[in-house]
Amino acid sequence: MPDPVRAAGSVAKVQVVTDLSSSPWPGERSVLTIGAYDGVHRGHQAIVEQVRASATALSARSVVVTFDRHPASVVRPESAPRLLTDLDQKLELLAATGVDATVLVHFDEAQSHESPVSFVERVLVGALRARQIVVGEDFHFGNHRAGNVALLRTLGAEHGFEVTPLQLLARSDGVDEPVSSTAIRRAMAGGAVEVAAALLGRPFQARGVVVRGDQRGRLLGFPTANVEVPNHVCLPADGVYAGWYLRPEGERHPCAINLGRRPTFYEHADHSLLEAHLLDFEGDLYGEQARVEFTDFLRSERKFDGIDALVAQLKHDVEHARTALGA
């Protein structure tokens, strides 16, 4: 299966379907899967791989049906999870799997009330002419999550499609649970970006615009790119990390990353700031769309007694990052 990491610098050519008023491929059947696909992690990739294999065998289109926002952001906004991938990155990663098309369903209040039966008949059968549906064995969908594998099988017998439930992909690190977006968020909350990368199948990547900060890093001798990440995107725990800064043109630069509230200077900062110090780099990054990959946790954030102690630690952090990255 193509490596989703390759989507980091460019968007693979793949059809994105948003109009479901009629069949996007008249006369053709599809093999499809459906879900939020937040993170497009190794478990998701295994399902898509089966979709592609079955589609090839059946001479059908391989399709991923997903949503333009996480359904929880509409159904239960007060407890909706922060996203591992924003919409653009999710589409890039799905394109990189080699699937023929991604169907993007607009999810709003009205959509949240559609019954599972109506959704299957309107979208999966009516528009996409499903020949086979591949999902995880614990799959639920529709209003109140009332749809499941058993319902799909009942509807499949009526409408002429097969249902293939797959066993959830087990973690390979000895932890007795499947690969999931929840497990990845839990790892991130503990700063375990190496664990998150193993579950994702690639390093976690945060995206945002480089904005002007207070210039304190430059004054200390460690200029940083201050990356403004949207609030709905998940970030690792506050701390110092080694990683890579990806520029829009595809250049990759090793960097030391500080994610936190800078307690040495600010007593009560109200949010964490992502600052990336690019090793051996000089140039203007303001305004560009940055992508920052987290590969290694170096240390927790802490308050220093003064500037000299902080600068000494920053020098150590940069060398630690250089060693970790082989740079």
Q: Which residues are catalytic?
A: 275
Distance CA 162, CA 149 (A): 11
The helix (H) or strand (E) run that includes residue 149 is helix 149-159
Angle at which helix 181-189 crosses helix 193-200, to 10 degrees, equals 160
8 Å CB contact between 37 and 122: no
| DSSP secondary structure letter of residue 126 | I
Q: Which residues pair with 67 in a beta bridge?
A: 105
- Using DSSP's 3-state secondary structure scheme, residue 182 falls into helix
Q: Which residue has the tokens 């369903």?
A: 105
Residue 55: partners with Cβ closer than 8 Å, 6 or more residues away: 30, 31, 61, 62, 63, 100
Distance CA 24, CA 19 (A): 8
8 Å CB contact between 49 and 57: no
Environment class of 256 (CB within 10 Å of its CB; exposed 0-12, middle 13-18, buried 19+): buried
8 Å CB contact between 238 and 302: no
In 3D space, the residue among 250, 319, 233, 245 whose CA is nearest the CA of residue 281 turns out to be: 245
Residue 294 tokens, joined: 């987290």
- Using DSSP's 3-state secondary structure scheme, residue 236 falls into coil
Environment class of 161 (CB within 10 Å of its CB; exposed 0-12, middle 13-18, buried 19+): buried
Residue 258 tokens, joined: 């500080």
Amino acid at 253: H
